[in-house]
Amino acid sequence: MRIMYRVRQFWRTITAKTDPLELEKALALLTPSQAVLFSSLQPGEQYHALVMVHKLVDQGESQPDLLVAALLHDVG
């Protein structure tokens, strides 16, 4: 059901907690200006971006530009 998907998505967004160590690792991948953009995201968006990076790494991806794109894909 689409509505249940959206309810769960909303709930994850408002309850998301990012691990400070994970944030530190993410920020290390970014230039200072990219870090400002990432920091402007809502906590739920940051959490989602970190999940995307983990999924890529779990699939064997390590290309820095791809990981940066995953971190910033919701900017704008």
Average pLDDT over residues 11-22: 80
* Secondary structure in 3-state letters for 3-50: HHHHHHHHHHHHHCCCCHHHHHHHHHHCCHHHHHHHHHCCHHHHHHHH
Q: What is the pLDDT of residue 57?
A: 95
* Tens digit of each residue's pLDDT (9 = 90 or more) over 21-76: 989 999 999 999 999 999 999 888 999 999 999 999 999 999 999 999 999 999 98
Q: What is the pLDDT of residue 43?
A: 87
Q: What residue ranges do the domains of the chain occupy?
A: 2-72
pTM, whole model, 2 decimals? 0.80
Helix (H, G, I), strand (E, B) or coil at 70: helix
Backbone angles phi, psi at 6, to 5 degrees: -65, -35
